[in-house]
């Protein structure tokens, strides 16, 4: 069982960029792969902006900012990951897309000991593991957004994950990245999202039913329950498309009504109102932060 010294990340959206950043800040060389050159440039810019914010707020020194960015290579070809000790998949929460990534990684990785990790929020890890010839090396390593700030990682071994893979993943996330770990069962939603998503969906249903505005619901939970974000602002942060995808996975596995995505959520995703990443969700967003509530269904 070897140590993890070279890290790869597939996807450089909010989660992939955050994972790459924390690995680079921990002193490791990181190669990130995006789908094309344009997305790769945008991904590197996203990481650079995050590091700059951390430095401007005093979280890291300007020197550490520059060193971390220098450790990160962003490419547009999966072959760039052939020599990695750990590869974290952080693409869209779409099972078909993730299966394709795992199949391709399995074919190109030269190290038999490489740990293949998925950052999926809800898809059962065993489905991704069995798309490879090395299911014992596949594990769920679920970070939380924003990755550089939130300390938790859910470790999700499948029925076929080896004890060595679990130990290496835990040593890496706690000892190298300094994260806190909980072990979660390989079931849709794991621990955190199985509890969180019904709460978010209940807030969507309140807006859909006209019980309260998005702004009042969020203010109520922030001021009345001391939550750092209200449920609808949190759904906007996660991404309404990702929230829907997690809910779909939960409902497909358990068929419980509280996991079923409300029609309003689906319509907003269809309309491209995805939250912060699109500039509009249940609230509107600008560079200065959230504004007024944006989605308010009409009765009728």
Task: List the catalytic residues.
Answer: 121, 142, 154, 193
The residues that bridge with 85 in the sheet, in sequence order, are none
Eight-state DSSP code of residue 60: S
Contact 166, 157 (CB under 8 A): yes
Alpha-carbon distance of 278 to 287, in angstroms, equals 12
d(CA 189, CA 271): 25
* Nearest C-alpha neighbor of 127 from the set 155, 153, 92, 103: 103
Rg (C-alpha) for the chain, rounded Å, is: 19
Instruction: Give the Cβ contact number of residue 169 at 10 Å.
Output: 24
**Whole-angstrom Cα distance, residue 137 to residue 114?**
7
Element (H, E) at 100: helix 95-108
- Whether the CB-CB separation of 94 and 245 falls below 8 Å is answered with yes
The torsion region of residue 219 among left (phi > 0), alpha (psi -120 to 50) and beta comes to: alpha
Question: Which residue in the block uniquely carries the two structure tokens 């998503």?
Answer: 197
Beta bridge partners of 10: 33, 89
Instruction: State both tokens at 288.
Output: 């200065």
């Amino acid at each position: 069982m070897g140590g993890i010294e070279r890290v790869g990340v597939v996807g450089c959206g909010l989660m992939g960029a955050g994972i790459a950043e924390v690995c680079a800040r921990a002193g490791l060389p990181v190669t990130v792969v995006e789908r094309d050159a344009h997305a790769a440039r945008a991904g590197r810019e996203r990481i650079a902006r995050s590091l700059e914010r951390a430095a401007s707020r005093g979280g890291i020194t300007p020197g550490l900012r520059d060193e971390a960015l220098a450790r990160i290579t962003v490419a547009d070809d999966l072959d760039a990951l052939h020599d990695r000790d750990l590869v974290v998949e952080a693409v869209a929460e779409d099972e078909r897309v993730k299966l394709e990534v795992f199949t391709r990684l399995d074919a190109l990785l030269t190290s038999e000991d490489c740990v293949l990790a998925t950052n999926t929020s809800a898809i059962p890890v065993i489905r991704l593991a069995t798309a490879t010839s090395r299911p014992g090396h596949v594990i769920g390593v679920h970070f939380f957004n924003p990755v550089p700030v939130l300390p938790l990682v859910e470790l999700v071994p499948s029925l076929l994950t080896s004890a060595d893979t679990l130990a290496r993943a835990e040593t890496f996330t706690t000892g190298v990245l300094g994260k806190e770990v909980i072990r979660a069962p390989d079931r849709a939603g794991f621990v955190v999202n199985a509890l969180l998503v019904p709460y978010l969906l209940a807030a969507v249903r309140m807006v859909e039913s006209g019980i309260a505005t998005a702004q009042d619901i969020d203010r109520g939970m922030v001021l009345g329950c001391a939550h750092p974000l209200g449920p609808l602002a949190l759904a906007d942060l996660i991404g309404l498309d990702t929230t829907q995808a997690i809910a779909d996975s939960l409902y497909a596995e358990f068929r419980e009504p509280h996991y079923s995505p409300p029609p309003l959520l689906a319509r907003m995703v269809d309309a491209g109102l995805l939250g912060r990443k699109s500039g509009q969700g249940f609230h509107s967003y600008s560079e200065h932060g959230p504004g007024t509530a944006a989605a308010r269904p009409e009765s009728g």
